[in-house]
Amino acid sequence: MFEIEKWHQDNHQQKLNGRYIILEKILPLIKKMNTIFKVEKIGKSELGKDIFSITFGQGEMNILIWTQMHGNESTGTKAVFDLFRFFEKNKSDSEIADKILKKCKITVIPLLNPDGAEKYTRVNANQIDLNRDVIDQNAAESKVLMQTLAKVNPVYCFNIHDQRTIFSAGKENKPATLSFLAPSEDMNRTITDGRKETMKTIVAMNNLLQKFIPGQIGRYSDEFYPTATGDNFQKMGHNTILIESGHYKDDYQRENTRKYTFLALLQGIYSIVQPEEEIDFHSYFDIPNNEKKYLDIIMKNISYDGKKVDIGVLFIEKLKNGKINLIPSIEIIGDLELYNANRVIVDQKKVLKSEKELINWLKNEYIKII
């Protein structure tokens, strides 16, 4: 996989970059897909935008992948287009690509929520969270996903999301660049045979990624959500791996994160077709729980409102003129000794009287990271 990591640097889909990924940006790529890919229009969004699936491989193992179920979570979309390029460029000269193409039939929905993507919102045009609509299926996009699930009947699913900067991993509270979850099937979080298979896949992905980003992989709580997509798909017998793409230091466009999401996907699929006998599903629980101990900025020992304090700042993402602006906001004030951040500022002489003054100072002094 180290050679593939190097391959990605020069061969990823360079026509997709940044955080604002919408249908109009992927349409030209879809129209030029290589003949090894079968492109289908599988439905429309609430506002009438096309939803596509892209299928490749000749094997009997059916796999379903979808991204941008939440419109403002676009890293997975970039990663699946990198995945397409990998199979297009390496279909005949890569053992990994060859085995996957022969053993799997992979269907990808590269952008499930085009209306939410355009407005850069989590929800769809009717303010429905698609990840909580699997039972009621009130949204047109939810119906498309369920129809595709029934048609494909996948043995494995990869449900790709983005997570906020605040999530941390490991004892050092490094950024959780990627987090995984093997969803529960019931309130008791029973470890069924299906969940064991899901956990093994995640262990294989984690084992690889620790070589590239050690200590930056987290695990979501497996609390059961009765209306969540992953929980229900797992319950229905489709082994579902949840991937959350998060922060990598200074990577606010998530270009490094897309690479690790791509590697995670490729390794996950390869581990399914070429299982490693020694993988123990119990190792899944060795991946540290996600914590909320990472911030965009920590200001240490700052005079604020007459006191010496630590101040933790998170950026709020706002869409403006087709670009994502990162607006600083105070997240926590207090002792932040146990927290980590993308940038730590120590300025014991600085005196700030209000949140507005603090935010203006950050914008003026540290605009290059915003």
pLDDT in tens, 184-222: 999 999 999 999 999 999 999 999 999 999 999 999 999
213 CB-near residues (< 8 Å, 6+ apart) = 177, 178, 248, 260
Tell me what pLDDT residue 370 has: 38
The runs of H, that is alpha helices, within 127-175 are 140-152
Q: Are 251 and 40 in contact (CB under 8 A)?
A: no
Q: What is the full DSSP assignment across 195-215?
A: HHHHHHHHHHHHHHHTTTSTT
> For residues 198 and 202, what is the distance between their CA atoms, to the nearest angstrom?
6
Domain ranges of the chain: 2-286, 294-369
226 CB-near residues (< 8 Å, 6+ apart) = 135
Distance of CA 33 to the CA centre of its chain: 23
**Which region among 101-105, 275-279, 321-325 has the lowest average model confidence (pLDDT)?**
275-279
pLDDT-derived band at 29 (thresholds 50, 70, 90) equals: very high
> What is the mean predicted confidence (pLDDT) over 128-153?
98
A 10 A CB-CB count for 345 gives 17
pLDDT-derived band at 352 (thresholds 50, 70, 90) equals: confident
Tell me what pLDDT residue 357 has: 87
Domain 2-286 has CATH 3.40.630.10: yes
Tell me what pLDDT residue 366 has: 63
19: tokens are: 């955080």
Q: Looking at the predicted structure, is the pLDDT value of residue 367 above 80?
A: no
The runs of H, that is alpha helices, within the chain are 2-11, 23-31, 75-90, 95-103, 114-119, 140-152, 193-209, 229-235, 255-273, 355-365
User: Among 150, 157, 154, which residue's Cα sits nearest to residue 65?
Assistant: 157
User: 291-319 pLDDT, tens per residue?
Assistant: 999 999 999 988 888 888 999 999 999 99
pLDDT-derived band at 30 (thresholds 50, 70, 90) equals: very high
226: three-class secondary structure by DSSP: coil
**99 half-sphere exposure, CB direction, 13 A CA radius:** 12
> What is the mean predicted confidence (pLDDT) over 4-17?
94
